[in-house]
């Protein structure tokens, strides 16, 4: 893939369930190194877009491309190894230690992984945390381990589905700041789903506002105040006091 080619492309993608459009003629390109935030209300189609990217579901019409290849042309195991996925609950295996959770993906692929280095990268002292199980970690610590696990295979793409929404405000703010540092240092391309405009403006390089399964507007984060669109202005009104 050329260095300036899109990492992600949605080309007139629709996804329907029982005749109802969850996504409707959705078009989007994400370039290398971008953090594209999908901002929208619950049910606007944000998570559906992520699930289409890693082949968990398939579009009713249109084409989804990852790293220049339509998703159906990928071997799904290979595709998912090219993607780091972080969800709201972390999704850690409860019977494995933090280090073992981080090492699992590379181990299945027959590769080595320095779990200690990854723990340190996300702000956790390896000597203290490597042997802890998820039940022995706070919510913020579990999310840090989840991010480390997502980075373990050095994926080309990160997908983050409301990863910090269940955390207290201070921990959430700290992780948002850490995410920006990881993104900048590692140069990763990411799609970050949220319904929080404050978070979107903190972590995103570009913000796409979704409404009723469609992309209403997609603009650089710095320009959001001027080109927010109708639904984006509703978010501005709702979050105005905290911006």
Q: What is the pLDDT of residues 101-141, one digit of tens each?
A: 999 888 888 888 899 999 998 889 999 999 999 999 998 89
* 20 neighbors 45 (Cβ within 8 angstroms): no
Q: What is the pLDDT of residues 149-178, one digit of tens each?
A: 988 988 889 999 998 888 889 988 988 998
Q: What is the pLDDT of residues 55-110, one digit of tens each?
A: 999 999 999 999 999 999 999 989 988 899 888 777 899 999 999 999 988 888 88
Annotated domain spans of the chain: 90-154
Beta pairing class for 206-211 and 214-220: antiparallel
Q: pLDDT > 90: what percent of the chain?
A: 62
* E strand or H helix that includes residue 142: helix 139-151
Q: pLDDT > 70: what percent of the chain?
A: 97
- 22's tokens: 């969850």
Of the candidates 30, 63, 9, 35, which has an alpha carbon nearest to the alpha carbon of residue 187? Answer: 35
Tokens 């579009």 found at: 59
Rounded Cα distance, 80 and 203, in Å:
23
* E strand or H helix that includes residue 129: helix 126-129
């Amino acid at each position: 893939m050329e260095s300036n080619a899109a990492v992600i492309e949605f080309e007139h993608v629709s996804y329907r369930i029982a005749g109802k459009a969850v996504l409707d003629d959705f078009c989007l390109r994400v370039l290398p190194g971008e953090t594209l935030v999908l901002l929208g209300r619950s049910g606007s189609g944000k998570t559906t877009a992520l699930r289409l990217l890693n082949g968990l579901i398939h579009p009713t019409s249109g084409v989804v491309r990852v790293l220049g290849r339509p998703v159906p042309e990928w071997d799904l195991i290979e595709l998912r190894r090219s993607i780091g996925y972080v969800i709201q609950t972390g999704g850690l295996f409860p019977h494995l230690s933090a280090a073992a959770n981080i090492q699992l993906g590379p181990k299945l692929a027959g590769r080595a992984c320095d779990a200690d280095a990854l723990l340190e990268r996300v702000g956790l002292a390896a000597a203290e945390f490597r042997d802890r199980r998820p039940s022995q970690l706070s919510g913020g610590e579990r999310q840090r381990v989840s991010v480390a696990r997502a980075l373990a295979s050095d994926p080309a793409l990160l997908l983050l589905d409301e990863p910090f929404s269940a955390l207290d405000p201070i921990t959430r703010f700290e992780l948002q700041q850490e995410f920006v540092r990881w993104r900048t240092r590692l140069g990763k391309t990411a799609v970050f789903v949220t319904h929080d405009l404050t978070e979107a403006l903190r972590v995103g390089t570009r913000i796409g506002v979704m409404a009723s399964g469609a992309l209403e507007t997609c603009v650089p984060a710095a320009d959001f105040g001027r080109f927010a669109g109708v639904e984006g202005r509703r978010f501005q009104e709702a979050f105005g006091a905290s911006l």
